[in-house]
């Protein structure tokens, strides 16, 4: 093998890893947005968000395998159901504690996370489930683009398209609609917003619905991408996405997208080039490094007393 070959191999290895990293980053971003929106509005780190993501994967799996719904129907139904779960979660667990100290809501969030995880364990069992390939659109298992040694699959393209599309929709909602304006108002000052006639609880419910929809969607996409659905999948993904949200600047939606992307690429390149045993360590190290030098995150605004 000549040096030119070597160089080509090395660069295609890098590009392939980059494609893997961007896909993973897109998924992290989808979950991170849910954390960051809820935090922005009610300053709560919703630790049960990872479980919504897990439920999304399981619901779609059940709809496809048990109810034999076409994949895209299951995809949309799951997203709607996850929105409802998000609203329900807020209604049952967080709304009664709105005036309580923030620590109480945080502990409730952890409790809900454990509850939902065990509920899934009871319903679906601990074994890893995968979508049966014959029930998925055939195009998912086909490569979309083969350039020498680089393969981009239709599934990767689907994941990235969905991610970008929904981020754009989200951006539009936050900045161009009435409810988005209300969300931004509440994130500045809940009490004053209420005095101005904004239905605070309704807007918070809406925030949970949107965040949970994105989380559930990420769950389905990851379940497809890695072929693995299991009750504890939300835990690690949740922590990673939380890290992504913090990395970008918690409470900041574009920050969550950027954070997700950086974290995904750092993780994959770390696993590919440094050490696959310490891949999680590497991604957290990146996060810590950013927070050390820029405590408000990559594009977060410094705030006085939020954290």
Partner 1 sequence: MKKGYLGFFVSLFLLAGTAWGDAIKIPVASPFTGQLASFGEGVKNGALLKGSEINASGGIRGRKVKIVLEDELCDPKEAATVATKLANDPAVSIVVGHLCSSATLAALPIYRAAKLPAISPASTNVSIGKMSPFYFRNVYKDDFQGLFLAKYAHFVKGYKKVAIFYEVNDYSMGLMLAFMKEAKKLGIKILGTEAYTADTTDFKPQLTKFKMMKPDAIFIPGYAPQGTLIVSQAVSLGIRNAGFFGADGLDDDLMLKNPDAEGLFVTTPFLPDKAGPRAAGFIRAYRKAYGKDPNWFAANSYDAVGLAAAAITAVGQDRVKIRDYLASINTREKAYEGVAGKTYFDKNGDCLKDAFVKEIRGGKWVSAQKQLRQ
- Confirm or reject binding of residue 9 to partner 1 (CB under 8 A): yes
- Confirm or reject binding of residue 277 to partner 1 (CB under 8 A): yes
Q: How far is the CB of 142 from partner 1 (least distance, A)?
A: 10
Between 9 and 189, CB nearer to partner 1: 9
Spatial contact of 206 and 72, defined as CB atoms under 8 Å apart: no
The three-state secondary structure class of 102 is helix
Phi then psi dihedrals of residue 265, to 5 deg? -65, -45
Q: What is the dihedral of CA 191, 213, 223, 22, to 10 degrees?
A: -70
Between 24 and 213, CB nearer to partner 1: 24
The three-state secondary structure class of 34 is helix
Give the footprint of partner 1 on residues 159-198 (CB under 8 A).
none
Q: How far is the CB of 67 from partner 1 (least distance, A)?
A: 19
- Confirm or reject binding of residue 145 to partner 1 (CB under 8 A): no
- Among residues 95, 171, 184, 279, which is the contact residue for partner 1, using CB under 8 A? 279
Q: How far is the CB of 9 from partner 1 (least distance, A)?
A: 5
Q: What is the DSSP letter of 134?
A: G
Give the footprint of partner 1 on residues 99-128 (CB under 8 A).
126-128
The three-state secondary structure class of 150 is strand
Between 18 and 291, CB nearer to partner 1: 18
Between 201 and 227, CB nearer to partner 1: 227
- Quickly tell me which residue has 């009750």 as its tokens: 231
Long-range contact pairs involving 150-155 (C-beta distance under 8 Å, separation at least 24): 150/12, 150/15, 150/16, 150/19, 151/16, 152/19, 155/224, 155/225
Reference 257, options 150, 176, 163, 192; nearest CA is: 163
- Confirm or reject binding of residue 272 to partner 1 (CB under 8 A): yes
The CA-atom distances, in angstroms, between 302 and each of 62, 192, 250, 275 are 44, 22, 10, 34
- Confirm or reject binding of residue 11 to partner 1 (CB under 8 A): no
- Confirm or reject binding of residue 226 to partner 1 (CB under 8 A): yes
The CA-atom distances, in angstroms, between 242 and each of 22, 130, 272 are 17, 25, 23
- Confirm or reject binding of residue 147 to partner 1 (CB under 8 A): no
- Among residues 62, 65, 130, 181, which is the contact residue for partner 1, using CB under 8 A? 130
Q: Which residues of this protein are in contact with partner 1, per CB under 8 A?
A: 9, 12-13, 16-17, 20, 24, 126-128, 130, 132-133, 141, 143, 146, 149, 151, 153, 155, 226-228, 232-233, 236, 267-269, 271-272, 275-277, 279
């Amino acid at each position: 093998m000549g040096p030119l070959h070597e160089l080509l191999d090395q660069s295609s290895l890098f590009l392939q890893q980059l494609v893997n990293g961007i896909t993973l980053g897109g998924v992290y971003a989808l979950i991170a947005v849910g954390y960051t929106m809820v935090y922005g509005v009610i300053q709560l780190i919703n630790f049960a968000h990872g479980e919504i993501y897990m439920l999304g994967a399981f619901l779609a799996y059940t709809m496809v395998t048990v109810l034999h719904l076409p994949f895209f129907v299951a995809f949309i139904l799951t997203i709607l159901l996850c929105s409802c779960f998000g609203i329900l979660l807020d209604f049952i667990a967080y709304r009664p504690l709105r005036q309580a100290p923030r620590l109480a809501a945080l502990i409730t969030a952890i409790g809900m996370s454990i509850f939902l995880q065990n509920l899934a364990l009871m319903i679906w069992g601990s074994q890893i489930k995968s979508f049966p390939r014959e029930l998925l659109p055939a195009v998912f298992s086909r490569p979309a683009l083969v350039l020498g040694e680089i393969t981009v699959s239709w599934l990767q393209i689907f994941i990235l398209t969905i991610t970008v599309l929904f981020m754009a929709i989200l951006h539009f909602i936050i900045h161009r609609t009435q409810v988005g304006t209300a969300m931004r108002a509440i994130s500045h000052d809940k009490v004053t917003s209420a005095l101005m006639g904004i239905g605070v609880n309704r807007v918070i419910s809406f925030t949970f619905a949107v965040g949970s929809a994105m989380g559930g969607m990420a769950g389905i996409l990851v379940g497809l991408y890695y072929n693995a659905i299991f009750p504890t999948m939300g835990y690690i993904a949740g922590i990673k996405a939380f890290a992504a949200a913090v990395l970008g600047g918690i409470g900041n939606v574009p920050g969550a997208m950027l954070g997700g992307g950086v974290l995904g690429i750092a993780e994959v390149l770390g696993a590919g080039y440094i050490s696959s045993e310490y891949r999680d360590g590497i991604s957290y190290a990146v996060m810590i490094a950013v927070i050390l030098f820029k405590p408000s995150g990559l594009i977060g605004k410094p705030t006085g007393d939020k954290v």
